[in-house]
């Protein structure tokens, strides 16, 4: 068996891996793991990733978790064009710097914004206190400012003049609040222009395809009681 990628495109790191693999014409079998149905807890998936999270990779007997590790494995194994993860010491360090930062900053505020604005009220039928949402959106705004000031600056892409895995990881995060109706680019022309450049570099069709599941999430039918119960521990992390 060749390369298998275990993904749910509702998940932002899965979309980054999916776009990277497709854009680089890396052949893979897509194994969809439906998180809302709890398929990440199935015996089959736990064999691949005991952490029970997507994305995950299986390449023959080799299994790998964590989106950053997966992106870098794919970049190295398939010798992706240098700009994705440059060989140059300092250019690579810039990409690494962003990948290290975003996990503890942008990631959580994008996830919280999407869940609090959309998944709780629409899917779980649970009210989110307005002050909780306001705090989340304020934190998101603070992270966006850091993204612009520290990483994007006056460059075309986050880690320099060319698109890299940092841009994929970032844009797939930012599309989370966008899907919930947060117009995060409206008052940020620099970031909006960057988004256009990333979409153009990825290809608009691939970008749309990767985000189709997410953009339809607002139309999900309300969860039944079993799904609500199963998602409770996870959902609490996003309040």
Interstrand relation of 29-32 and 3-7 (parallel, antiparallel or unpaired): parallel
Please give the size of the binding site for ligand GSH, defined by CB under 6 A: 12
Q: Is 116 in the site for ligand GSH (CB under 6 A)?
A: no
Cα-Cα-Cα-Cα torsion 228, 239, 139, 56, nearest 10 degrees, comes to: -50
CA distance 12 to 111: 9
Beta carbons within 8 Å of 230's beta carbon, 6+ residues apart: 38
Among 35, 71, 108, 174, binds ligand GSH (CB under 6 A): 35
Measured from the CB atom, the residue of 115 and 157 that comes closer to ligand GSH is 115
Residue corresponding to tokens 């521990």: 233
Q: How far is the CB of 190 from ligand GSH (least distance, A)?
A: 26
Whichever of 120 and 188 has its CB closer to ligand GSH, that residue is 120
Site string for ligand GSH, 43-82 (x = CB under 6 A): ---------xxxx----------xx---------------
Q: Helix, strand, coil shares of the chain as percentages rounded to 5?
A: 60, 10, 30
Minimum distance from residue 107 beta carbon to ligand GSH (Å) = 8
CA–CA distance, 142 with 17 (Å, rounded to integer):
26
The nearer residue to ligand GSH, 110 or 198, going by C-beta atoms, is 110
Query: Taking CB under 6 A as the criterion, which residues in 205-234 touch ligand GSH?
Result: 234
- Options 18, 31, 40, 84; binder of ligand GSH; rule CB under 6 A: 40
Under 8 Å between Cβ of 191 and 106: no
Q: Which residues bind ligand GSH (CB under 6 A)?
A: 11-13, 35, 40, 52-55, 66-67, 234
């Amino acid at each position: 068996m060749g390369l298998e990628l275990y993904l749910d495109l509702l998940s932002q790191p899965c979309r980054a891996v999916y776009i990277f693999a497709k854009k680089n014409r890396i052949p893979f079998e897509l194994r969809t793991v439906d998180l809302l149905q709890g398929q990440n807890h199935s015996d089959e998936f736990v064999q691949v990733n005991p952490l029970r999270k997507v994305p995950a990779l299986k390449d023959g007997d080799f299994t790998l978790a964590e989106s950053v590790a997966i992106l870098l494995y794919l970049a190295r194994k398939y010798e992706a064009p240098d700009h994705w993860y440059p060989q140059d010491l300092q250019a690579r360090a810039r990409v690494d710097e962003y990948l290290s930062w975003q996990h503890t900053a942008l990631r959580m505020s994008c996830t919280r914004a999407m869940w609090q604005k959309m998944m709780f009220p629409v899917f779980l039928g649970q009210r989110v206190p307005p002050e909780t949402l306001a705090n989340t959106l304020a934190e998101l705004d603070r992270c966006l400012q850091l993204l612009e000031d520290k990483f994007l600056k006056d460059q075309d892409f986050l880690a320099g003049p060319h698109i890299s895995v940092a841009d994929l990881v970032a844009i797939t995060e930012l599309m989370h609040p966008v899907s919930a109706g947060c117009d995060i680019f409206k008052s940020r022309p620099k970031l909006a222009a960057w988004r256009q450049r990333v979409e153009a570099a990825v290809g608009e069709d691939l970008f749309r395809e990767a985000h189709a599941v997410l953009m339809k999430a607002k139309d999900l039918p309300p969860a039944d009681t079993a799904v609500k119960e199963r998602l409770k521990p996870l959902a609490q992390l996003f309040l």
